A and B are shown apart, each in its own frame.
Chain A
Amino acid sequence: MRLSRDEVWTGIIGAVAVAAAATLPLFDQGYYLAIALNMVLYAALCTAWTLFSGPTHYVSLATAAFFGLGTYAVGLGLDYMPFPALVLIGGAVAAILAGLVGAATLRISGVYFVIFTFGLAELVRQIVSYLQVKLSASMGLYVFTDFTEKHIYWMLLALTVVVFVTGWLINRSRLGFAMQIIGNDETVARHSGIDTARLKIVLFMISGGFIGMAGAILAPRYSYVEPPAAFNPMISFLVVIMALLGGTRRLWGPLVGVIPFTIVMDIVSVRFPNDTSIVIGIAFLVIVYLLPDGITGRLEQLWAHSRKARPEPEPVPVEERA
């Protein structure tokens, strides 16, 4: 596989960053680790979300549903199966749900998709709660493992790397090219021979699967798992904000949103706990009116302006096969 110079540099920088991040637990196992864990969690979630919602421009609010399913897979199965298997199963179950949701909604317009996913987490939560109470008379599940925060941190870091590599591979593949075309003009895509519905569903399943795995990995963090926490709709909203804030044109765009926003949310939840809704509302408005392409989009715009004198055309966003 031939890599361009940009890709090699990105790979090196990425590897260094990951290695550096991995050493954090050696220095602190308290507050900073907790914050970093949140960051890595949302890094994984937002990047997985962007795999699908970036190229298609379909805003998915289903994140909490996939996440919760992953958590529940671990909660239900930990007495019977080893943890790694459950992570994969959590991912698979989430992917299946994504497939079903996709098949029902992606053949129609994007608006229906957003609305459907809007209530999906709540729907899954209702069903899971109902089944839980019916089948076991208690609302929650106990999750006992030997994992501590640092193990979960490392697992999430590994997951984030996997998501990035997957995204990179997709971008270079026909699937990535097809998604770019679909994002530009779906009619042209179809008339070029692209089965747009199927591809969107496939991509949604990949994205959902990773989100499910994140949920599974996070399950041991709290020893007791309950539907409202596992299927917390806030997860869906925060992922959308951070990804859009960072910018979804690039695979690493969401990271630019994740890092500052997790810090902001942490401060807000401590200092102004009753005002989280207001902060989130303002964040959405800022994104729509001031940063429609996210911070990275705005920065790239400014950079493009400053290069206007150059006669060469702008480089295309997708990695070139050199």
Chain B
Amino acid sequence: MTAAALRVQGARKAFGGLVAVNDMSFEVREGELFGLIGPNGSGKTTMLNLISGALKPDAGEIALSGTLISGMPAHKIARAGVARTFQLVRMLPSMDAERNVMAGAVFGHRRLWGEQAREAAHQLLALVGLRGREHVPVAAMTYIDQKRVELARALASDPRVLLLDEWLAGLNPSELNIGIELIARLSEQGRTIIMVEHVMDAIRSLCGRCVVMNSGRKIKEGEVEEVLSDPEVVEAYLGDDDDA
């Protein structure tokens, strides 16, 4: 049996006295659209940060297709094939859309350069719906367009696992539909995606399996409908008004 696309075992991260991620274990299979959900402050973004290498886990292991990546610096993990978007979109403000996306193409494991990199960037910008706007400075773009650029940039390195950190947050209903469609298309193409999300409709319609975190711990892992009707999960979300 082939190794899982991403395997987290016993991951732990504490900040002083606060344990943000506590003994987290889950598995994401190749080509899956996996949800990472939980109420606010449950440690989801910290978990993503551990996977992407922005933070080093205090304990536990994270493996990408069987290769251990936990403890490696972020740039090595990126080159190994993990790409991400950020909760608050991070643009390269002095550059245009094309060069923002090229950043992923040039320095990821594809290591493209020159015309090839430019071509790849154009293709991806078209994919996310920004065809023709390659030379617009990102500083002049709307928030949703910047999100699209960030997604294109993450895809530019052809990652083995794509991490989306609340990518659908802050979108109005029509933008939300477009966004959900886009992610669905990426998944159909065979991408392995881990989504941290609060928008429950999106989780329900997109994800097959998911894991629920609460106060840093895993409380349930499994098929989305099964998980969401679990009483412990419902209890964890009570009082949280993010539910769609």
A and B associate in one complex: yes
A191 touching B74 by the CB < 8 A rule? yes
Q: What are the interface flags for A183-195 relative to B under an 8 Å C-beta threshold, 1 for contact and 0 otherwise?
A: 1110111111111
Does A174 make an interface contact (CB < 8 A)? yes
Does B184 make an interface contact (CB < 8 A)? no
Does B197 make an interface contact (CB < 8 A)? no
Contacting residue for A185 out of B73, B91, B96, CB 8 A:
B91
Name the distance in Å between B181's Cβ and chain A's nearest Cβ. 26
Q: What are the interface flags for B63-106 relative to A under an 8 Å C-beta threshold, 1 for contact and 0 otherwise?
A: 00000000001111011000110100011111110010011101
B95 touching A180 by the CB < 8 A rule? yes
A178 touching B107 by the CB < 8 A rule? yes
Find residues 169-187 in chain A having any chain B CB closer than 8 Å to their own CB: 174, 177-178, 180-181, 183-185, 187
**A50 and B232 alpha carbons, distance in the complex (Å):** 58
**B94 closest partner in A (C-beta):** A184
**Interface size grouping (class) on chain A:** 20 to 34
Q: What are the interface flags for B26-55 relative to A under an 8 Å C-beta threshold, 1 for contact and 0 otherwise?
A: 000000000000000000000000001110
**A95 and B91 alpha carbons, distance in the complex (Å):** 33
Q: How many residues on B have C-beta within 8 angstroms of the other chain's C-beta atoms?
A: 36
Q: What are the interface flags for A302-315 relative to B under an 8 Å C-beta threshold, 1 for contact and 0 otherwise?
A: 00000000000110
B137 touching A313 by the CB < 8 A rule? yes
**A157 and B131 alpha carbons, distance in the complex (Å):** 47
Contacting residue for A174 out of B84, B91, B106, B115, CB 8 A:
B106
Find residues 110-147 in chain B having any chain A CB closer than 8 Å to their own CB: 113-115, 135-137, 140
**A192 and B92 alpha carbons, distance in the complex (Å):** 12
Does B7 make an interface contact (CB < 8 A)? no
Does A5 make an interface contact (CB < 8 A)? no
**A196 closest partner in B (C-beta):** B75
Does B56 make an interface contact (CB < 8 A)? no
Q: What is B's interface to A at a CB cutoff of 8 Å?
A: 52-54, 73-76, 78-79, 83-84, 86, 90-96, 99, 102-104, 106-109, 113-115, 135-137, 140, 153, 157
Q: For the complex of A and B, list the 5 residue pairs with the smallest distance between their C-beta atoms, beginning with the closest.
A: A193-B107, A184-B92, A193-B78, A190-B74, A193-B79
Q: What is A's interface to B at a CB cutoff of 8 Å?
A: 174, 177-178, 180-181, 183-185, 187-196, 313-314, 316-317, 321
